[in-house]
Amino acid sequence: MSINKLEALKKYFGYDSFRPQQSEIIDTVMANRDCMVLMPTGGGKSVCFQIPAVLREGLTVVISPLIALMKDQVEALRGNGITAAFLNSTISGAEQDQIMWQIKLGELKLLYIAPERLFAGNTFDLLREWNVQLFAIDESHCISSWGHDFRPEYRQLNLLKVRFPDVPIVALTATADRVTRRDILKQLNIEHAETFISSFDRPNLSLNVLPGRKRIEQIQRFLNKHDGQPGIIYCLSRKGTETVAASLQKAGFKVAYYHAGMTGDKRSQVQENFLRDDIQIIVATIAFGMGIDKSNVRWVIHYNLPSNVESFYQEIGRAGRDGASADTVLFYSYLDIITRQDMINNSDQSAEQKELLNAKLNRMKQYAEADICRRRILLSYFNEPVDHDCGNCDVCRNPRTRFNATVIAQKALSGIARTEQKVAMGMLIDILRGSRNQNVIRHGYERLPTFGVGHELRGDEWSEYLGQMLNSGVMDIAYDEAHSFKLNPVSWQVLKGERQIELVKFIPLAERKAKEEELVPKDKPKQEIIRDALFERLRQLRKQLADTLGVPPYVVFSDASLSEMAQKKPISEAQMKAVSGVGAEKFRRYGEAFINEILDFARENNAPGTRVVKGMTFVETFDLYKEGYSVREIADKRNLNPVTIISHLVKLKEDGHGIDLKSLIEPAAYRTIVDAAGEIQVGKNDPIKPLFELLNERFDYGQIRLALAIWEEERQN
């Protein structure tokens, strides 16, 4: 029986309605028309080609540069009941043959492939035999040299329309300005394609900019408020990632660094650990992020200023992809601008490209220095002006206080003039504050009339105010003269008293911290405490199931789904399927386990210490076990995964029911597994993928989990 797009959305993804423009895009694709989709990260781009893929006959080929991401994307689709596979350099020859056979039989709905793999060997020629019905080109901005992530291998994709003129193309990207969008359509030979531009607004993201001083201290304070929540810290340099990670590790956080200088195996391991929630924090260069599809990232911090708004928006978009609230923080100082400008001006780019890069950097600077709603600035950059403030950025929550700073500016400008415009920020601050250090004395600056005239301001205050003066055009900087400050016509107007200057009032970190603490409620309502405790229980269950199945936790359920479960406490199939993100296949695989966890939690809170058979699903498993059925037979009868049946039996045993776990596994298999577990010190509650790999995948996750449960019981007795 055929289903419509809305029924497919509910069945496979568990959602009751489409997000803005998704329905129209799907209709366009189903009508065999080309289109380009510009939708922010986390906005639901994938659904725009995945729904047509399940509704149409034939194969949808998804072209993506994100090799590291393909495995997780395919696992997520399979978890939703959609047949999918990927072809890239990480799979074996036997696996490739199996995929080719599935394609030949028409068993696959989606095939993910990298552009370089598509044009290697005879793969491109094989497309004619594959009954391809749709090409989806993800990260399509990579085809444009005007984009921020140009990849030459994407240029060959212009052959798709030449060879397959009747197969529709959907080009998808999260960030592309007007020039880049036109170039994408031109390069793909789909210049008459319909273009869909979704709102760039991500209202669930909180936008914050903090002063770029004592960054580690501020980060630690931030992390203490986000206990256990996964997030990403972006740094400009490889060394920076290692330094920041080491500082946070020393403070007791579960953190790892990630950059292009690491071996491929090491990067893959770090990424895997992050995806599976085995580490909380990744400190990374921009090399990290395009290769992940982790929906429960709850925050993103930029330790350094990004080079452009497109990159910044794409990177903060990796937070809150499940629709739940998430925080973003940008550290900013005047030195960040200098560093970025030096990188541009010293690069081997053409004069035209340098001009463009500097213009984009300037727009990033405007965002960082804003004293109006930051979301309005972001949206206006993407040609989406709004006429109201968001209420979810630091400027809206704490409006800036401006004051007349003409006297402060005159002191600074006088210091620049009397040093013959030869000093940079550090030296100027020393002069203004009256510091008698070796450098000041050597140049004789202690004899200047301006020496010490600004002693009433702290060094970080002067740094803040000088940065504001520089960025508002009160003075200039000579990058080719050791970043020395220079006077301009505005400077002289201020010095002569012909022009007044306003600056944003400096707030010391201690005062900022005190204000933040005032906003934190002292005591949570009881209902909220219970909800948070249940959410944590469900999160632990999700992690256990994910480790057992060897998938990232978000593949089981998103944070947003768990949060809704903790809020609504569903205890029936109908109630659970009403939770956003719980489709038919997800319920079949995991629904009853989560219902029983909720029932268990309710019993413990209402009648502590009671020990009962968990829910109807456990009763059914227990009854069949008592009748003498094997694990495989119980799984077949109940249409469940054998791993799920084993988890039922282990839980029943833990709850005091008469289950002979040893009878469920061969003695030789048990001994082999526990010997290997002892070798690498893996226990019942640890991730078992390392053990699965050490055993060369000879035993499935259910057998391993069963052996570890028996081993744990023996060690306790």
Burial class (CB in 10 A: 0-12, 13-18, 19+), 182: middle
Separation CA 536–CA 489 (nearest Å): 60
State residue 289's pLDDT score.
58
Q: What is the pLDDT of residue 247?
A: 96
Residues 550 and 432 in one domain: no
- CB-based burial of residue 651 (10 Å sphere; 0-12 exposed, 13-18 middle, 19+ buried)? buried
| Consecutive H or E run containing 669 | helix 667-680
On whether both 556 and 654 belong to a single domain, the answer is: yes
Domain end, chosen from 135, 169, 197, is at 197
Answer with the residue of higher pLDDT: 113 or 127: 113
Supply the CATH number for residue 173's domain.
3.40.50.300
228 and 162 co-located in one domain: no
Residue 113 has pLDDT above 90, yes or no: yes
In a domain, 516, yes or no: no
449-471 average pLDDT score: 89
* Confidence at residue 610, expressed as pLDDT on a 0 to 100 scale: 32
Boundary (domain end) residue, out of 377, 397, 417:
397
Give the mean pLDDT of the chain.
86
* pLDDT, tens digit, 9 for 90 and up, residues 567-576: 999 888 888 9
Assess if residue 511 is contained within a domain.
Answer: no
Domains contained in the chain, number: 4
Stretch among 34-38, 43-47, 391-395, 607-611 having the lowest mean pLDDT: 607-611
Residue 521: inside a domain = no
Residues 311 and 456 in one domain: no
pLDDT band at 612 (very low <50, low <70, confident <90, very high): very low
Residue 514 lies in a domain: no
Q: Are residues 393 and 457 in the same domain?
A: no
The token duo for 304 is: 């350094």
pLDDT exceeds 50 at position 609:
no
Cross-strand partners of 231? 281, 299
Quote the domain boundaries for residue 554.
Answer: 526-716
- Give the residue-averaged pLDDT of 341-370: 87
Assess whether 65 and 130 both reside in one domain: yes
Domain holding 554: CATH number? Answer: 1.10.150.80
Name which of 132-136, 478-482, 594-598 the model is least confident about: 478-482
96, 139: one domain: yes
The verdict on 209 and 102 lying in the same domain is: no
615 to 483, 573, 594, 619, 705: CA distances (angstroms):
70, 12, 10, 6, 21
Token pair of 205 as six digits: 């993201």
Residue 264 lies in a domain: yes
What percent of the chain shows pLDDT beyond 90? 38
Q: 49-97 pLDDT, tens per residue?
A: 999 999 999 999 999 887 767 887 898 899 899 999 998 878 888 888 8
Q: Is the pLDDT of residue 607 over 50?
A: no
Residues 393 and 484 in one domain: no
Same domain, yes or no: 272 and 343: yes
Highest mean pLDDT (candidates 66-70, 385-389, 681-685): 385-389
Judge whether 58 lies within some domain.
yes
The answer as to whether 60 is a domain residue is yes
Enumerate the H helices of 569-630 as residue ranges.
Answer: 573-577, 584-586, 592-606, 616-626
Contact 283, 258 (CB under 8 A): yes
Q: Rounded to 5 degrees, what angle do the CA atoms 551, 540, 592 make?
A: 80
**Whether residue 185 is found in the same domain as residue 79:** yes
Choose one of 504, 534, 549: the last residue of a domain.
Answer: 504
Q: Are 73 and 123 a contacting pair, CB within 8 Å?
A: no
Residue at 168 is within a domain: yes
In this structure, the answer to whether residues 475 and 604 fall within a common structural domain is: no
